[in-house]
Structure 1
Amino acid sequence: MTKNNAFPAATPPATDKRPASDTHHGISRIDEYGWLRADNWQEVFKDPSVLDPTIRKHLEAENAYQSALMADTAELRAVLFGEMKGRIKEDDSSVPMKDGPFAYGSSYKKGGEQPRFFRTPRDGGQETIILDGDHEAEGKAYFRIGDVEHSSDHRRLLWAFDDKGSEFYTVRVRDMDGGADLDDLVTDTGGSGAWDAAGDGFFYARLDANHRPSRIFFHRIGTDCASDQLIYEESDPGFFMSVGGSRNDEWIFIAINDHETSEYHVIPAADPLAASRIVAPRETGLQYDIEDGGAVFFILTNADGAKDFKIMSAPASAPERANWTELVPHEPGRLILSILSFKDYLVRLERKDGLPRIVIRELKSGDEHLIAFDEEAFSLGLSGSYEYDTEVMRFSYSSMTTPSQLFDYNMRSRERTLLKTQEVPSGHDPEHYVTRRLMAPSHDGELVPVSLIHHRDTRLDGTAPCLLYGYGSYGITVPAAFNTNCLSLVDRGFVYAIAHIRGGKDKGYSWYEDGKREKKTNTFHDFIAAARHLVAEHYTSHGRIVAQGGSAGGMLMGAVANMAPEAFGGIVAEVPFVDVLTTMLDDTLPLTPPEWPEWGNPIVSEADYHTIAAYSPYDNVSAQDYPPVLAVAGLTDPRVTYWEPAKWVARLRERKTGSNPVLFKINMDAGHAGASGRFSRLEEIAFTYAFALKVTGKAAA
């Protein structure tokens, strides 16, 4: 591999080696860098100041090293930040959503980092700010607002915040007439809540020490939180919970799930302390979601072999599985993603032939119609509704060249009303850009969709640099949506591409199944195939492809760097899940037991152990040339703990050949999502883009 000469000579931090061994299934491993995991990691999530000073010193040395290597990009980063900020309407506002006498929305003030939440009279009028995020964030290094929910009588506002980045949210209640928060305060929650029908109390999920939402409580306004009523406790550490309310305010739904199994409990919202009722007991592999339809529940499920899901209905008074009746049958290759019900209509978002579409069904007649779109690749989203008895639903549309558009759609008349088009203050002409959808042949003949955008003036002769993004886990589909930030690369001659690899649901549920557990390596082969296809089609060359992914996508980055380092000119791994085997062997970590259905359980299964050990990035770093690598992490991240990338970086430096650098940037005041403010987040993106420009020789462009 060719040495990248873009970086100055500098000595990386020396990482002490303190070998420790573990043995499972008769197989022993040595980990020289396990000491980077703080013994008091749970305390660090809530108070970063208690981090072991030796570990803190090492992480600060890593930041000093990457800062030195990236010092010459300071001016470029400032330019990139200015460009990206210039594409944001600083005083942007959402289109308010109607609910009874009011309409609710959110906005930003010019220069503001955090959103403000407001309401107006239903048909327009004076805005009232009901929550000012910038005010609440004053004096805090990190601040992120969770859910914001008004009660059905519009008297009170439930809102949540995290001020450490560890995703332990505090819930507060605000009197909307007076504007002051009440004394009610609940800590260590998942960041959301659901009001009872009267607005006199709310349900919430409390996180345990391992960051698992294991208990659902009901809090009555004005009472001591210590006396909150326990509604449900989940004893299986492999399952997570959440709680929410139906739009017609009739039901509370407790959702319990891992990555392949679901269970719902329902409670009448008017009787919050009533015993919950199970809709369908958990059955391994059975997944379902519930949507309230008045006298019935609509159930989106994979029951009875419906791999791409079907829709059932059941009486709300007797929702047990024995009473499920088929409404929309299973159609292989048509993946139903979500449903939204109204008094007279049922809306579904589905994916067919790799593209999303919206289907409207009139409940009385059963007649259906599609909302049509013309572009080659695009993204759709259902925007929900506070109201149930309405003929109007709201959705969003965008493509890689088309800014996001928000529509109201009359389901009876089929009239589409454009409410708002994403404004790009610095200007955007879609005609200056080209978007394409390619199909890259993978190692086994499967065709991998690749969405891309480039400037119409970019020469496609194999010399253009390329940023190739991938994720490929949990069935998550990365949409071909409008992204103002990537235009800073595209306008500099980059091809920006998204590889829709297995592990997502881009081509149906089977696409997900073919990229998990024992088939996980398909995900990596698909990404490498996408890179090679882009080269074969003369969009770029291997030395000019920068691969990027975060979280499980960061694990993808570590895997492809091990498998095909020659295919890439740079690697950006954000909050990378790179120590897969060690994490899946540790059931005390926040997310490990619920993750076993996705990755396998190497504690009990020797086969799973071997499968994960064969690709786990940390375990497969070898003596070969690697391209320049940038790893990004957050100290208080409960999803991908900081020590995973810290260990990976140390082992890369120890074992690799060649002189290409490995950089590690860790935010000491944030967690999994990085910086919380909208502009401080842009600074982080500017940093990763500067790295991409630097390694491809475009930093001066």
Structure 2
Amino acid sequence: DGRFIADATLFRHHLVVLTREDSRPRLEVHDLKTGAAHDIAFEGETYALDFETVYEFDTTLLRFSYSSMNRPAETYDYDCATRVRTLVKQQMTPPGFDPAAYVVRLLFARADDGERVPVSLLMRRDSGLDGSAPLLLTGYGAYGYSFEASFATNRLSLVDRGFVYAIAHVRGGTDKGWGWYEDGKLAKKPNTFTDFIAVARHLIGEGYTSKGRIVAHGGSAGGLLMGAIANTAPDLFAGIIADVPFVDALSTILDETLPLTPPEWLEWGDPIRDRTAFDVIRSYSPNDNVRAQAYPAILALAGLTDPRVTYWEPAKWVARLRATMTGGGPILLVTAMEAGHGGRPGRFDRLEEVARNFAFAIACVSGGLAWSKAS
């Protein structure tokens, strides 16, 4: 319970299992002759692991990759018999990058029902804990997807500008086992949203940031999360980035002519034949719960050729927000005319999207988005 077997690889004399517990991965080596087992040790509170391909069966060498939020990806050969580890490849980093300048932490926030929600956090070592720092909080929480605390050079641009970067490992993923996934789907889907809000409040309480200094980010099913928290806790956030957001959930799941809808009933429930499922989805579907209140600044991103989240979902949501909200904003919509669910295809196009999102986040916490509904 609470421990997820993510992958395994088999050799003639060893079985190696990749597991995950409290969002932290582990590599366990089992000797098939003796039955003995040992873990491969890693530094750091939270990190990411994955198997690399080995084409030999009769070997003691395992190849795996390791990274953390302040340490670039490294590929190792590990001898399961001698326990000797050899670095064979390392990801290139930007000039002047110093991993010692950053701190990575694994925290736990207390959810409304008492569950401990893991939080992976990256910040500069010279950042203070006086609540003044802006914070980008991201999450997903669906389909059993685990949000890995891996390395990404793009984040450094934001962290070097004073931001704290945090991942909320909310229910709906397998970060704490299969039960963590089941507690964030179907009738229990609202746990995903309350977990994210609990993480935001915990980070405020611990001095990593303060109320109104958080920018939330999520895409696809994580965009549904963004829409839900915008409705239920708008005062916590300075801004929200909703990337191809699944925000018109009830209308989409009610339309069985859409080719991707019937398979989705396994995740969300079938609101056509199940009244309870209808009521649950109706209770959190962002577009159906927009209310007359002030909202934080919101950047909604859509792709015209997106087959998973159709472009009219964020368009409808933005229109309803603008017509209903009593203050706050602005509510911005960007529809990429040449993009699908994964954004624009070019390498530099992708960097432009990241830069735009980060610029929006910086503007949200620096007062650069002054706007009134009348304008």
Quickly name the TM-score band, shorter chain normalised.
over 0.9
CA deviation vs aligned residue, 1:285-332 (integer Å, no higher than 9, x gap): xxxxxxxxxxxxxxxxxxxxxxxxxxxxxxxxxxxxxxxxxxxxxxx3
User: Which sits farther off after the overlay, 362-371 or 333-342?
Assistant: 362-371
Correspondence for 1:496: 165
Out of 185, 207, 217, which is 1:538 matched to?
A: 207
Does 2:27 correspond to 1:358?
Answer: yes
Instruction: Flag the 1:369–1:580 CA change in 2: closer, same or farther, 3 A.
Output: same
- Indicate conservation of the 8 Å contact 2:117/2:169, yes or no: yes
Q: The residue matched to 1:485 in structure 2 has which SS?
A: helix
- Indicate conservation of the 8 Å contact 1:334/1:352, yes or no: yes
Correspondence for 1:557: 226
Q: The residue matched to 1:613 in structure 2 has which SS?
A: helix
Deviation at 1:599, TM superposition (A): 0.4
Out of 507, 519, 536, which is 2:188 matched to?
A: 519
Instruction: Flag the 1:353–1:571 CA change in 2: closer, same or farther, 3 A.
Output: closer
Does 2:3 correspond to 1:345?
Answer: no
Deviation at 1:475, TM superposition (A): 1.2
Correspondence for 2:240: 571
Does 2:330 correspond to 1:661?
Answer: yes
Q: The residue matched to 1:676 in structure 2 has which SS?
A: coil
- Indicate conservation of the 8 Å contact 1:340/1:384, yes or no: no
Correspondence for 1:97: none
TM-score under structure 1 normalisation? 0.51
Instruction: Flag the 1:514–1:636 CA change in 2: closer, same or farther, 3 A.
Output: same
Deviation at 1:449, TM superposition (A): 1.1
Deviation at 1:667, TM superposition (A): 1.1
Correspondence for 2:271: 602
Deviation at 1:492, TM superposition (A): 0.7
Out of 118, 134, 137, which is 1:465 matched to?
A: 134
Letter in 2 for 1:623: A
- Give the distance between the partners of 2:107 and 2:351, measured in 1 at CA: 29
Deviation at 1:343, TM superposition (A): 3.3
CA deviation vs aligned residue, 1:260-294 (integer Å, no higher than 9, x gap): xxxxxxxxxxxxxxxxxxxxxxxxxxxxxxxxxxx
Deviation at 1:659, TM superposition (A): 4.5
- Give the distance between the partners of 1:352 and 1:694, measured in 2 at CA: 37
- Indicate conservation of the 8 Å contact 1:453/1:497, yes or no: yes
- Indicate conservation of the 8 Å contact 2:296/2:328, yes or no: no
Instruction: Flag the 1:428–1:532 CA change in 2: closer, same or farther, 3 A.
Output: same
- Give the distance between the partners of 1:644 and 1:390, measured in 2 at CA: 52
Deviation at 1:607, TM superposition (A): 0.6
Correspondence for 1:385: 54
Out of 264, 272, 287, which is 1:618 matched to?
A: 287
Where is the helix percentage greater, Structure 1 or Structure 2? Answer: 2
- Give the distance between the partners of 2:355 and 2:264, measured in 1 at CA: 32
Instruction: Flag the 1:388–1:479 CA change in 2: closer, same or farther, 3 A.
Output: same
Letter in 2 for 1:582: S
Deviation at 1:374, TM superposition (A): 2.4
- Give the distance between the partners of 2:198 and 2:21, measured in 1 at CA: 23
- Give the distance between the partners of 1:384 and 1:585, measured in 2 at CA: 42
Unaligned runs of at least 5 residues, structure 2: 370-375
Q: The residue matched to 2:184 in structure 1 has which SS?
A: coil
- Give the distance between the partners of 2:133 and 2:246, measured in 1 at CA: 30
Correspondence for 2:366: 697
- Indicate conservation of the 8 Å contact 2:23/2:169, yes or no: no
Deviation at 1:456, TM superposition (A): 1.5
Correspondence for 1:199: none
Correspondence for 1:417: 86
Letter in 2 for 1:557: M
Does 2:355 correspond to 1:681?
Answer: no
Correspondence for 1:647: 316
1:445-456 to structure 2, matched below 5 A, reads 445-456=114-125
Instruction: Flag the 1:381–1:699 CA change in 2: closer, same or farther, 3 A.
Output: farther
Q: The residue matched to 2:157 in structure 1 has which SS?
A: helix
1:135-284 to structure 2, matched below 5 A, reads none
Instruction: Flag the 1:698–1:371 CA change in 2: closer, same or farther, 3 A.
Output: farther
Deviation at 1:448, TM superposition (A): 1.1
Does 2:87 correspond to 1:430?
Answer: no
Out of 178, 198, 220, which is 1:509 matched to?
A: 178
- Give the distance between the partners of 1:654 and 1:697, measured in 2 at CA: 26
Deviation at 1:655, TM superposition (A): 0.9
- Give the distance between the partners of 1:583 and 1:381, measured in 2 at CA: 35
- Indicate conservation of the 8 Å contact 1:557/1:573, yes or no: yes
Correspondence for 1:131: none
CA deviation vs aligned residue, 1:598-645 (integer Å, no higher than 9, x gap): 100001101100010000001111111000000111111111111111
Letter in 2 for 1:351: R
Letter in 2 for 1:527: F
Does 2:203 correspond to 1:548?
Answer: no
- Indicate conservation of the 8 Å contact 2:137/2:200, yes or no: yes
- Give the distance between the partners of 1:517 and 1:384, measured in 2 at CA: 36
Letter in 2 for 1:457: D
Unaligned runs of at least 5 residues, structure 1: 1-331
What is the alpha-carbon root mean square deviation over aligned residues? 1.6
Deviation at 1:698, TM superposition (A): 7.7
- Give the distance between the partners of 1:579 and 1:383, measured in 2 at CA: 39
Letter in 2 for 1:577: F
Deviation at 1:385, TM superposition (A): 2.7
Letter in 1 for 2:168: A
Letter in 1 for 2:12: K
TM-score under structure 2 normalisation? 0.95
CA deviation vs aligned residue, 1:61-83 (integer Å, no higher than 9, x gap): xxxxxxxxxxxxxxxxxxxxxxx
Deviation at 1:410, TM superposition (A): 2.0
- Give the distance between the partners of 1:353 and 1:552, measured in 2 at CA: 22
- Indicate conservation of the 8 Å contact 2:22/2:118, yes or no: no
Out of 84, 106, 112, which is 1:443 matched to?
A: 112
Over the matched positions of the two proteins, sequence identity in percent amounts to: 59
- Give the distance between the partners of 1:581 and 1:638, measured in 2 at CA: 17
